[in-house]
Amino acid sequence: MAILATGGAGFIGSHTCLELLNAGYEVVVIDSLVNSSEESLRRVQELTGKTLRFYKGDTRDAALLDTIFTENEIEAVVHFAALKSVPESVKMPLEYYDNNLTGTIELLKAMRRNGCKKIVFSSSATVYGAENKCPFTEDMQTGTTTNPYGTTKLQIERIMTDTAAAEPDWHVVLLRYFNPIGAHASGRIGEAPGYPNNLMPYITQVAVGKREKLTVFGNNYPTPDGTGVRDYIHVVDLAKGHVKAIAFVLDHAGTEIFNLGTGNGTSVLELIHAFEEVTGVTVPYEIGPARAGDVAYSYANADKAKRVLGWQAELDVRQMCRDAWNWQKNNPNGYE
């Protein structure tokens, strides 16, 4: 019996495949490589000494999905595959809705056709919107999203919840990630964006000399130092959370939601300074205007995952900085 990871070659997917293999699961991956490289999977196999099965293709390809379900005994699916750039989604909403929504609907239909109704989904803290107050708890009403990417996450949560309500033999786990950063301790797998939209890959690209300086998006937020506060979570902790979520989804019908965060907030300036301290590298920055759609605070109440899944984050922000830097300096051009 195997776990199918859609988007398994990506940043979070590759780290999760590694943890699933180490936990003894067989792993099958479908990835279109639209935002990743097969090299990540080669390295996952090298690091674990185990093999996984890779299909290059799109989750909107119903025939390919049927082939995968026929050729493998898939017990459950972890659904990472999505386009994830907030600014790109504002420019290309149709492509985002098609890739993320159609890709999910085709996947769910293929799962049903093939008798596999257990799924763990990569959702985001963005579904809490600006209306809710931190720390976010899973029972809060979801908020208003500010971009097409975030809207796809909200809509997919709804599609899966409705499906599980209509057909009680579905097992659905919605994982709301906070801000995943860092990399595997080996420095062999990590986050490899072209142009970085997110804070940590921007910091590491400035530190390695690929960008001149970082722009801090606003310092007038109602936070202690005026910069945005986020719940950064080490990608290895996040990956281990998926192993717990898979174990849970195998024998729990219905829909269950879990925040995957640390419960701690860190400001932009605190993250820059932590990075400088642990690496000894200076990160030049300037203060710029606030970025549209950003909230002042986003951090989790992570109690439910601890109570129900027996999972909690273990690595702190300093370790996240150390590992992000170790990956960046050993792989200045990602997987190229």
With CB under 6 A as the contact rule, which of the stretches 66-74, 104-112, 192-200, 318-326 interacts with ligand UFG? 192-200
Catalytic residue numbers read: 149
* 215 touches ligand UFG by CB under 6 A: yes
DSSP codes of every residue in 67-108: HHHHHS-EEEEEE------HHHHHH-HHHHIIIIIIHHHHHH
* 136 touches ligand NAD by CB under 6 A: no
Interhelix angle 11-22/38-48, nearest 10 degrees = 20
CB of 45 or CB of 198, closer to ligand UFG: 198
* 32 touches ligand NAD by CB under 6 A: yes
Nearest residue to 309 (alpha-carbon basis) of 234, 233, 250: 250
Nearest residue to 321 (alpha-carbon basis) of 218, 240, 224, 235: 235
* 88 touches ligand UFG by CB under 6 A: no
Alpha-carbon separation of residue 162 from 99, 168, 171, 319 (angstroms): 20, 10, 12, 39
CB of 10 or CB of 241, closer to ligand NAD: 10
CB of 126 or CB of 204, closer to ligand UFG: 126
With CB under 6 A as the contact rule, which of the stretches 54-62, 111-119, 136-144, 293-301 interacts with ligand NAD? 54-62
Longest dimension (CA), the chain: 55
- CA–CA separation, 238 vs 178, rounded Å? 9
Residue ranges binding ligand UFG (CB under 6 A)? 84, 124-126, 150, 179, 197-199, 202, 214-217, 228, 230, 268, 291, 294, 298
Residue ranges binding ligand NAD (CB under 6 A)? 6-7, 9-13, 30-36, 58-60, 80-84, 99, 103, 122, 124, 177, 179-180
